[in-house]
Amino acid sequence: MPILFAPRLGFSHQELIARKEMTRWLETIAPWNAAVTLTFQRFNSFGHSFNELIGIQTLTHFKKILNQKCLGKSRMERGQSIGFAAVIGSGDYATSPHAHMCITTPPWVSFEDLIDIIEYAARRTDWINEHRRIVPYRDPGWLQYMTDHGTNNLVLELTSPLQTDKTG
């Protein structure tokens, strides 16, 4: 199995500064209301191993389902989106592929509803394992934990603030 994201033991001074800047930026783009961890399968039923590209494709599909369930198709067609930020990690020995996320939804989606939506989206997305953790977002410590995976592991193409027309 190729190791695409190898664990690192330390960060250079420049990387520490970049992590702090990334954390501050993530704090400003959305009023986060959920902190989520999803685990991925290491291999699919065809024996293909998980890699970063598969992780990005998996999270793209996952976010699309969240948008559909939280906002509806017509709002999505108008370019509206939930707030979303994710990093992909591999675990201490590159054997536990996973993603850490922050999610924010419109006010008409309760946290309890969001849990159900996340569970539904995870079941409908290939590569996502059964183990997941969904808790209310409490403070920037979660963002710092996310950026501990390295700023290059942030999936920038999926990072977005909450964009709605503010009506329920």
> What angle separates helix 111-123 from helix 52-71, to the nearest 10 degrees?
130
Residues in the chain: 168
User: Cβ of 97: how many Cβ atoms within 10 Å?
Assistant: 25
Split at pLDDT 50, 70, 90, the class of 168 is low
| pLDDT given for residue 10 in this prediction | 60
User: Helix-strand-coil percent breakdown of the chain, rounded to 5?
Assistant: 40, 20, 40
Whole-number pLDDT of residue 101: 97
- At 166, list the tokens: 């503010």
How far the first Cα of the chain sits from its last, in Å, is: 47
Query: How far apart are alpha carbons 9 and 118 in whole angstroms?
Result: 32
Q: Which two tokens stand for residue 79?
A: 């370019």
pLDDT at 88: 94
The C-alpha angle with vertex 77 and arms to 75 and 82, in degrees rounded to 5, equals 50
What are the angstrom distances between the C-alpha of 77 and each of 53, 147, 149? 25, 31, 33
How does pLDDT run across 70-119, given as a tens digit for each residue? 999 889 888 899 999 999 998 776 788 999 999 999 999 999 999 999 99
* Rg of the chain on CA atoms, in Å: 16
Kindly state the percentage of the chain with pLDDT values over 70: 91
Cα–Cα nearest to 152, from 3, 9, 11: 11
Which pLDDT tens digit goes with each residue over 118-145?
999 999 999 999 999 999 999 999 999 9
pLDDT for the residue 150: 73
Average pLDDT rounded to a whole number, residues 24-52:
93
pTM score: 0.88
Which domains does the chain carry? Answer: 31-158 (3.30.70.60)
Q: CA torsion sign, 160 to 161 to 167 to 168?
A: positive
